[in-house]
Amino acid sequence: MKMTRKDGHEALTVADASADRVVSSSVGAAHAIPDVRKESGELESTMKILLAEDSPVYRHLISGHLKEWGFDVQIANDGAVAWELLQAPDAPKLALLDWVLPKIEGIELCRRIRKAQAHSEYTYVVLLTSKDGKDELVAGMRAGADDYLIKPFHPPELEARLLGGKRILDLQRELVAARESLRVAATYDFLTGLLNRGEIVAWLDRELVRGGRETSPVGIVLADIDHFKKVNDSLGHSGGDVVLKEVAGRLKSDLRVYDGAGRYGGEEFLLILPGCDLVTTVRRAEEIRRGVSAPGVMSPKGIVQVTVSMGVTCTRGDRTSNVEALLNEADAALYRAKQNGRNRVEAY
């Protein structure tokens, strides 16, 4: 049966309550539906969408339109299947949920989505409800729905809702990407890609706590490029930058995944070696030092020989270690390495 609404438009509707009878799509059928996608260029062809609908008729009609609009449609016949699909690793971020569903109702799905989602990517939810459920709409929105659609509805109404949802999801993704790039900028040193000073010191602080708890030593290496001013003088500042990057890469290349490396200052680097006592830290520092100086560094103005001096210290189980004291020790040892001829490792 076709239903005619007050505005004179015929809507997507189902004849009767009983399933499998159906049946009309809107007046103009598929070919007459205005192609919002072509007009706005907004609907992404591969965007996933979840359709949770227990009425076979609506399921068939709606999924047909969604596919026609280019969506990759996942279908759930009941709320439990919908919830399972929504929890999958690559779940759809756009969900069209019928209010009345077997097992888990649409409104309960909304609640669960919002509860589970505090830290993950946003899911945009459009709740489908029948006309007599109108009074409950506010409750649906409170439960976490972003929008609603009252059955029966015209296909273009649905498409318009989905375009709005997609726009929100795009904005949200842009915000997340912007936040992520701010986080990266605040965490890493732009030139070398190592942790910046604040982060490597915070890392050291955390490792000291862990080392204290596990009574395990933490080795610390402060490395400083020798005569770097001369490198800058001969290669220019940008040539110096190339050398800095290369040295940072070499310092890092010998580290284990749980070691930390950061740019502590202009041409100074801090390495943190959890679980390494003083003897081991000195041995590893020696290996790393040799690795830095072994092959010359290619720069736009030719090959330069680069060396580093290192000051090494380590936490000891029998005394409390704090970041500042350890950094002072490493710095004192580094000073001795410079005094004693550079390109060498000294322990505190």
Closer to ligand GH3 by CB, 125 or 247: give it: 247
Which range of residues in 28-36, 149-157, 177-185, 227-235 is near Mg ion by CB under 5 A? Answer: 227-235
Give whichever of 21 and 229 is closer to ligand GH3, judged by the CB atom. Answer: 229
How do beta strands 308-314 and 10-11 pair?
unpaired
- Calculate the alpha carbon distances from 2 to 12, 22, 27, 153 in Å: 8, 9, 9, 11
* Interior angle at CA 226, CA 223 and CA 228, nearest 5: 110
Residue 338 CB, nearest distance to ligand GH3 (Å)? 5
Q: Which of 53, 105, 267, 329 is catalytic?
A: 267
The residues that touch ligand GH3, with contacts defined as CB under 6 A, are 191, 224-229, 232, 237, 240-241, 244, 266-267, 338, 342
Interaction between residue 224 and Mg ion (CB under 5 A): yes
Of 12 and 194, nearer to ligand GH3 (C-beta) is 194
Residue 230: CB minimum distance to ligand GH3, A = 6
Instruction: Please report how many Cα atoms fall inside a 13 Å half-sphere around the Cα of residue 221, on the Cβ side.
Output: 34
Pairwise CA distance, residues 268 & 50, whole Å: 53
Longest dimension (CA), the chain: 95
Question: Judged by CB, which is closer to ligand GH3: 103, or 342?
Answer: 342
| Shortest reach from residue 219's CB to ligand GH3, in Å | 22
Could you identify the residue written with the tokens 């009345």? 100
Least distance between Mg ion and beta carbon 200 (Å):
16
Measured from the CB of residue 44, what is the shortest distance to Mg ion in angstroms?
27
Q: What are phi and psi of 202, to 5 degrees?
A: -65, -40
Is 267 known to be catalytic?
yes
| DSSP structural state of residue 6 | T
Pattern 76-105, Mg ion, x by CB under 5 A: ----------------------x-x-----
Bridge-based pairing of strands 302-304 and 48-52 is unpaired
Stretch that binds Mg ion, among 145-153, 188-196, 263-271, 318-326 (CB under 5 A): 263-271
**Paired sense of beta strands 218-225 and 308-314, if any:** antiparallel
Start-to-end Cα distance in the chain: 89
Q: Which is nearer to Mg ion, 243 or 347 (CB)?
A: 243
Overall size of the chain counted in residues = 348
What the block records as the tokens of 89 is 């690793």
Q: Which residue has the tokens 């072994």?
A: 294
* 338 interface partner picked from ligand GH3, Mg ion, none, CB below 5 to 8 A per type: ligand GH3
Site membership for Mg ion, residue 228 (CB under 5 A): yes
Identify the residue whose tokens are 């001096």. Answer: 309
Residues of this chain that bind Mg ion (CB under 5 A): 54, 98, 100, 224-225, 228, 267-268
Catalytic residues: 267
